[in-house]
Amino acid sequence: MTTSLARSDAAITLNSAALARLRSDILNCRLMPNERLRVEALRERYGVSTSPIREALMRLEAEGLVVLEENKGFRVSDVSSENLIDLMSTRIEIEGIALRWSLKNGGVDWEANLLSAFHRLSRQEKFESPRTISEIWSKEHEAFHAALVSACGAPTLMSIRSRLFERAERYVALSIMANAPSRDDVSEHKQLMRAALSRDVGKTLELNRLHITRTLEKVAASLADRKRPAELRIVNRKPTK
């Protein structure tokens, strides 16, 4: 019985590790948009058997990061300017709700967690190389934005927000690879943190909208060679009070 449980736990750990590594490679564009995902190649890449790879691919298909085509197999989901605008516009609205509730509900622990998250993020170098974002910075960046909304008290909303954030980061990775102009991330995050700690809902929502819109504009520029970006008027509207 103990042996069977140990094997079961080991299988779960292996499956989770394969899923985490495959998701990370897609989000960080080590596996490029529209790239074919061959099970045998992924087995060799991650050093696992077929079962964890197939399970990971099915999970990522459900998340929209992988596409399964009949008689063709799996591939990484493609990107487009239209999808980018839809994604970022939705993210602005969802994060706006989460921020509003978080600023209302957050206590001393929330404030301390946000300060700590910003401190860790500000101490990290963003780039491993001119066209590669540091994985440590990416994790701290995600943690900072999660800390902002962590007191919203709505698990379903938080789950949606997290998925939107992940998908947005894939576009950011593409823009970095395209050598898009850099920006002052530290100042943007500091202003956002200070507005949140001051419980200034209007200013926090506006700064967050601008933060995401700047990302959108930067990424859209890097996609210009693929297809001319659609107008950005959807994300340029101000959030409702």
At residue 233 the predicted structure's pLDDT band, cuts being 50, 70 and 90, is very low
Is 10's pLDDT higher than 80? no
Residues 36 and 109 in one domain: no
Please indicate whether residue 57 or residue 1 has the higher confidence score (pLDDT).
Answer: 57
Instruction: Give DSSP secondary structure letters for the chain.
Output: -HHHHHHHHHHHHHHHHHHHHHHHHHHTTSS-TT-EE-HHHHHHHHT--HHHHHHHHHHHHHHTSEEEETTTEEEEPP--HHHHHHHHHHHHHHHHHHHHHHHHH--HHHHHHHHHHHHHHHTS-SEEETTEE-HHHHHHHHHHHHHHHTTS--HHHHHHHHHHHHHHHHHHHHHHHTTPPP--HHHHHHHHHHHHHTT-HHHHHHHHHHHHHHHHHHHHHHTTTTSPPPP-HHHHSPPP-
Q: Give the pLDDT score at 115.
A: 98
At residue 11 the predicted structure's pLDDT band, cuts being 50, 70 and 90, is low
Residues 98 and 6 in one domain: no
Mean pLDDT of the chain: 86
Calculate mean pLDDT across residues 222-237: 51
pLDDT one-digit tens code per residue, 155-168:
999 999 999 998 89
Residues 158 and 231 in one domain: yes
Calculate mean pLDDT across residues 183-190: 91
Q: Give the pLDDT score at 178.
A: 65
At residue 147 the predicted structure's pLDDT band, cuts being 50, 70 and 90, is very high
Answer for the pair 62, 204: CB distance below 8 angstroms, yes or no.
Answer: no
Domain at 179, CATH number: 1.20.120.530
Full residue range of the structural domain in which residue 154 is found = 81-236
Please indicate whether residue 199 or residue 173 has the higher confidence score (pLDDT).
Answer: 199
The residue from 76, 93, 110 where one domain ends is: 76
Q: Exposure of 142 by Cβ count < 10 A (0-12 exposed, 13-18 middle, 19+ buried)? A: middle
Q: Give the pLDDT score at 26.
A: 92
Is 61's pLDDT higher than 60? yes
Residue 241 resides in a domain: no
